[in-house]
Amino acid sequence: MRNRILLKKLFLTTTSICIAALGAKAQTNKATSSTARDSVSAANVDSLIKNKVNLPFGNIVTPNNTTASTQAVYTPSLIKQPVVNVLNALTGRFAGLYTQQNSGQPGLDAVSLTLRGRTPLILVDGIPRPLTYIDLEEIESVTVLKDAMSTALLGVRGANGAILITTRQGTANKQIISFTAQTAFQRPVSMPKTLNAFDYATLRNEAIDNEVRAIPTFDQRLRYSANDLQLFQNQTDPYGHPDIDWRKQVLKSSAQLNRYTLNVTGGSNNVRYFATLEHLFQDGLFKTNSVNSYNTNSYLSSYLIRSNIDLNITPKLTGGIHLFGRIYNLNEPGATTSNIFNSFLTTPNNAYPVLNPNGSFAGTPSFINNIQGQATNSGYLQTYVRDILADFYVKRTLNELTPGLYIKGVVSYASNLNEVINRSKPVVTFQRLVTGGVESYGNALVTQTDQLNTNTISNISGLPNQGQGRQSYLEASLGYNRTFSGIHNFQAVLLANSDNNVYGGNIAYNIAGFASRASYSYKEKYLAEFALSYNGSNYYGTGSQYKFGLFPVVGLGWNIAKEDFLKDNSWLNSLKLSANYGKTGNDNPGYFVFTQRIFDGASAYFGTGAAANQTLAESTLANPNITFEKANKFNVSLQGSTANNRLGFTIDYYNNQFSDVLTQRGRNTALIGNFYPNENIGRYRFTGFDLQLSWQQPVNNDFSYYIAANAGTQQSKVLYIDEPTQRYPWMQRTGQKVGQAFGYQAEGLFQSQADINNAAQNGVATVLGYAVQPGDIKYKDLNGDRVIDRFDQTTIGPKGPLITYGADLGFTYKFVDFSALIQGVANYSIYLNGNSYWEFQNNGLGQAYEEQLGRFTPATAATATYPRLSIGTNVNNQLFSSYWYRKADYIRLKTVQVGFTLPMRYANAVKLKSLRVFATGTNLVTLTQLKGGRDPENYNGLYPIQRLINLGVNVKL
């Protein structure tokens, strides 16, 4: 209630400010033709020839006055994708940015990001805050900050790069009111293909036969009889021999997403404003029961408001009030979405019927949770997320002291609340028993209890907020920007800031310090740049020498195209070579890990009495010398344009060496009776190239086209991790790729008993104590001791650089526009295992999949794509090995959009500035080598990624 009142006040404040702005008396500039802008913005590429470069803390510089490596996309590109999270709109658009979407669950479908091998920091309007579930139309640009110079002002938080989201501000133009209505239909891109009841039963019998050959005493009670197989095949006994495709039973084929956005922008020379309101509803895939008076589906409903007001208070004093509020509601079945999808992976189609003949939910002692009941009769969980944010700034020019000098102050406050209402209840199930033709039901398999009705403030998995929190940010800066005689340009800024964050009941986490940046350019030909940060955080010991750090960065640039020997050329428009090198930090201290803490331990009984079981236990060993991680980063960049700025290109090479990386000491021992702490001992290196190319071609007044392509490589190397001395060199982790998988090298399958006998005679190794059968995986015995054990583990999976790429292309013809985004990943593999891939897990009762139809049998020995079947855990075939790594390179048609803009004369006839209708498709086609309904991003049977067909209309008044 309190947050709703605050949001209401925020709305009223925004409305009043906008009304005041609309009534302000001032001269206005001639408005830009909205229709013309719409018709080209849908097709124009994000130019590599930047007019400005956004840096942290609101610092804006011109490209010729910085050596920073950045890349930006703007509103027209972002709004082409009907996504909920802005991070999902970045896929395929940035060189060197790798994204992966693991889930399509409403509200929890954000991609994970890797920028040059590391997870970047998120900033909104220059301030670090993980606010990404926002209206795409309120965003002016998203800038990727890649190198040391672009993140220099972040200091102790700049090592991993950053994603800078800049929201829109008003302009001194006539008022424009824009309304966009969109509706999208969502369908799963793919889901694992399970076996029907007959195939499942047939294959499980085969697996049992295989086990009996190896272990004659194997329990055969899991076997299906010939009569069972016949009844599964002809489906004449739906209660005793069911065949339920649980995904089709519980999930809808499609779901809807609706979005409505209203924004207004404009202003005068004295007041400029931008305000937006948005409502979004994203429905989930679960079917519901009309009997319920509440919704059990998984869905997201959000309401958002933003107001950015910028004022010229006096000729020398400007200021701004930027307000944001959001109500973000999530809903799901009481059994939870994750548990239901896990049930899909552990429950075969013939486990039990949906309902018993008497209408009760069916189950068995092995499957007590009925999936239909979990989805529709387990109550519901609701999560309410409330965010309120307010940024205030004032800026005063000090030209009376010296031209180009200014001072600026920023105050920001943000508050968030995650409230979880749990109204879940158990699903009572019964097993149907038929004895002598008499049907009966035993006791309930699940005990009936009262429905829960709890209200808690807690963290939600997948969301960045920590239950309840707040952030207060303060900044003061002194800046200078002046050009002398049109030759010498000086730019400088000195700032001090404090970022204070409170998460739940934790002690506040504060990062504070100073930062500065200065650049000098001569005739815009030669550029020298220097930046320095000195900051740290309070999560280190009082008086610790490791609490603060100094982070310097230097850069040099050469605008080659401005040299006299090139100034008269007609083919080269710009060419700039730049490089920078510096030290940055990554603050990753943990929660007061420098001090040893003692907690209540597990119960242990000594003596008698009430206090007999009171014990204490140490937490992980303290590390009093913990400090921030560091990175020495080098970047060299060549960028330019030619052919009258039609062709643009940028090539970057980076070499980033990380030191003091927090990791657990490799040479630790369990003899101390506790866990070793993370220590600043790791050293890694990340290298690679980023490439951008763009071509824009206006053919005539009616037709133009463009294409923009990008690619990036990410390679890494472990330089040091205090690794213990390995017995064999192939076991060494040092020198390998960061995160490189180690396991057994598979060499195909044993083809026959003769193959096994011949292998034994030739000393081919096996797992100790395991009786090999035809169809089992054979492994490479690296040390030649005829035993497969940990000494035969070596690198598996891809070893070369990860390659990401994307291409954005489109055209406009008269009033029609078209655009398409293609993205892909190369040298990428995934590891398939567990309930989502292996057969008959869950104690031999689990699911089986289409992939198992290609299993080894004597008849298919030469063509088998899967080992011989087994029940439960197989100590040989389910080893962590190269056999289960699958090449998952893919190319995805990410987005296609077609739009039509009503000719201006018709729009003006109905008093509109413009009217545009459009259709968008997302995740339309994916080309990959993976089989069995496996998506290369979402391959473990989680909530599937969605394919969207979106229809929309935009009206401007």
Residue 562: what pLDDT? 87
What's the CA gap between 940 and 104, in Å, rounded? 13
Instruction: Find the range with the poorest average confidence among 219-223, 667-671, 798-802, 933-937.
Output: 667-671
Average pLDDT of the residues of the chain:
88
Give Cα 397 distance to the centre of its chain.
Answer: 41
Residue 181 confidence class, pLDDT cut points 50, 70, 90:
very high
Residue 665: what pLDDT? 84
- All residues at 6 or more sequence positions from 194 whose CB lies less than 8 Å from its CB, including other chains: 200, 245, 246, 247, 348, 349, 847, 848, 849, 850
Residue 23: what pLDDT? 40
User: Closest Cα partner for 540 from 393, 662, 401?
Assistant: 662
Taking CB atoms within 8 Å and a gap of at least 24, the contacts of 209-212 are 210/773, 210/775, 210/868, 210/869, 210/870, 211/870, 211/871
User: Closest Cα partner for 256 from 221, 232, 280?
Assistant: 280
* pLDDT over 80 (residue 26): no
* pLDDT over 60 (residue 740): yes
Residue 360: what pLDDT? 94
- DSSP conformational letter for 866: B
User: Closest Cα partner for 952 from 266, 318, 258?
Assistant: 258
Percent of the chain with pLDDT over 70: 91
Mapped onto helix, strand or coil, the DSSP state of residue 560 is: helix
Give 512-541 as a DSSP string: EEEEEEEEEEETTTEEEEEEEEEEEESSS-
Per the CB < 8 A criterion, the answer to whether 888 and 935 are in contact is no
Give me 643's structure tokens. Answer: 């052919």
* pLDDT over 80 (residue 334): yes
Residue 457 amino acid letter: I
- All residues at 6 or more sequence positions from 595 whose CB lies less than 8 Å from its CB, including other chains: 541, 622, 624
Instruction: Find the range with the poorest average confidence among 13-22, 265-274, 437-446.
Output: 13-22
- DSSP conformational letter for 136: G
The per-residue pLDDT for range 748-785, each reduced to its tens digit, is: 999 988 888 887 766 667 888 888 999 999 999 998 88
Residue 45: what pLDDT? 58
Average the pLDDT over 451-472 and give the result: 75
* pLDDT over 70 (residue 606): no
Residue 495: what pLDDT? 95
User: Closest Cα partner for 152 from 72, 17, 81, 59?
Assistant: 59
The per-residue pLDDT for range 349-398, each reduced to its tens digit, is: 999 999 999 999 999 999 999 999 999 999 999 999 999 999 999 999 99
- In this structure, the number of other CB atoms found within 10 A of the CB of residue 407 comes to 13
Q: What is the CA radius of gyration of the chain?
A: 31
Whose tokens are 């293609």? That residue is 822
Give the residue ranges of DSSP H helices in 773-890: 841-844
Neighbouring C-alpha atoms within 13 Å toward the C-beta of 248: 7
What's the residue count for the chain? 957
- Is the pLDDT higher at 507 or at 689? 689
The per-residue pLDDT for range 435-449, each reduced to its tens digit, is: 888 888 888 899 888
The per-residue pLDDT for range 650-686, each reduced to its tens digit, is: 999 999 999 999 998 877 777 677 788 888 899 999 9
Residue 33: what pLDDT? 36
Per the CB < 8 A criterion, the answer to whether 949 and 923 are in contact is no
Mapped onto helix, strand or coil, the DSSP state of residue 761 is: helix
The per-residue pLDDT for range 73-82, each reduced to its tens digit, is: 998 999 998 9
* pLDDT over 70 (residue 13): no
Give me 292's structure tokens. Answer: 């319920």
Residue 636 confidence class, pLDDT cut points 50, 70, 90:
very high
The per-residue pLDDT for range 707-721, each reduced to its tens digit, is: 999 999 999 999 999
Residue 69 amino acid letter: S
Per the CB < 8 A criterion, the answer to whether 26 and 269 are in contact is yes
What's the CA gap between 628 and 587, in Å, rounded? 5
CA-to-CA dists, residue 469 to 8, 157, 418, 659, angstroms:
20, 20, 9, 32
User: Closest Cα partner for 595 from 548, 544, 535?
Assistant: 544
Residue 608: what pLDDT? 56
Whose tokens are 């009206």? That residue is 955
Residue 48: what pLDDT? 55
What's the CA gap between 160 and 714, in Å, rounded? 13
Give Cα 79 distance to the centre of its chain.
Answer: 18
Percent of the chain with pLDDT over 90: 68
CA-to-CA dists, residue 670 to 221, 596, 619, 667, 738, angstroms:
42, 18, 15, 10, 25
Instruction: Find the range with the poorest average confidence among 89-103, 566-580, 852-866.
Output: 566-580
Residue 547: what pLDDT? 84
Instruction: Find the range with the poorest average confidence among 212-226, 605-619, 811-825, 841-855.
Output: 605-619
- The residues with which 950 forms a beta bridge, in sequence order, are 184, 920
Instruction: Find the range with the poorest average confidence among 316-320, 785-789, 835-839.
Output: 785-789
* pLDDT over 70 (residue 49): no
Per the CB < 8 A criterion, the answer to whether 331 and 297 are in contact is yes
Per the CB < 8 A criterion, the answer to whether 527 and 497 are in contact is no
* pLDDT over 70 (residue 18): no
User: Closest Cα partner for 161 from 149, 179, 172?
Assistant: 149
Mapped onto helix, strand or coil, the DSSP state of residue 623 is: coil
User: Closest Cα partner for 306 from 388, 243, 381, 363?
Assistant: 388
User: Closest Cα partner for 838 from 847, 825, 829?
Assistant: 847
The per-residue pLDDT for range 858-912, each reduced to its tens digit, is: 999 999 999 999 998 999 999 999 999 999 999 999 999 999 999 999 988 888 8
How, if at all, do strands 787-788 and 139-145 pair?
Answer: unpaired
Q: Is 598 exposed, middle or buried (0-12, 13-18, 19+ CB in 10 A)?
A: exposed
Instruction: Find the range with the poorest average confidence among 154-163, 165-174, 456-465.
Output: 456-465
Mapped onto helix, strand or coil, the DSSP state of residue 597 is: coil
Residue 24: what pLDDT? 39
Residue 543 confidence class, pLDDT cut points 50, 70, 90:
low
Give the residue ranges of DSSP H helices in 580-722: none
Give 66-98 as a DSSP string: ----EEEEEHHHHTTS--SSGGGG-TTTSTTEE
Could you tell me the maximum CA-CA distance found in the chain, to the nearest angstrom?
106
User: Closest Cα partner for 407 from 315, 478, 316?
Assistant: 478
Residue 464 confidence class, pLDDT cut points 50, 70, 90:
low
- Is the pLDDT higher at 452 or at 15? 452
* pLDDT over 60 (residue 28): no
Q: For 340-366, give the secondary structure using H, E and C.
A: HHHHHHHCCCCCCCCECCCCCEECECC
Average the pLDDT over 526-535 and give the result: 95
Q: Give, rounded to a whole angstrom, the gap between the first and last alpha carbons of the chain.
A: 35
Per the CB < 8 A criterion, the answer to whether 42 and 180 are in contact is no
Average the pLDDT over 328-338 and give the result: 94
Give me 137's structure tokens. Answer: 């139309």
Strand extents, DSSP E, 665-801: 678-698, 703-720, 741-743, 746-749, 766-767, 777-779, 787-788, 794-796
What's the CA gap between 131 and 470, in Å, rounded? 13
User: Closest Cα partner for 469 from 511, 507, 500, 502?
Assistant: 502
Residue 785: what pLDDT? 87
Residue 644: what pLDDT? 87
What's the CA gap between 137 and 76, in Å, rounded? 9
Per the CB < 8 A criterion, the answer to whether 542 and 508 are in contact is no
Helix (H) or strand (E) segment spanning residue 8: helix 2-23
- In this structure, the number of other CB atoms found within 10 A of the CB of residue 767 comes to 19
What's the CA gap between 374 and 387, in Å, rounded? 31
Average the pLDDT over 419-428 and give the result: 93
Q: For 907-954, give the secondary structure using H, E and C.
A: HHHCCCCEEEEEEEEEEEEEEECCCCCCCCCCCCCCCCCEEEEEEEEE
- The residues with which 431 forms a beta bridge, in sequence order, are none
Whose tokens are 């369990």? That residue is 670
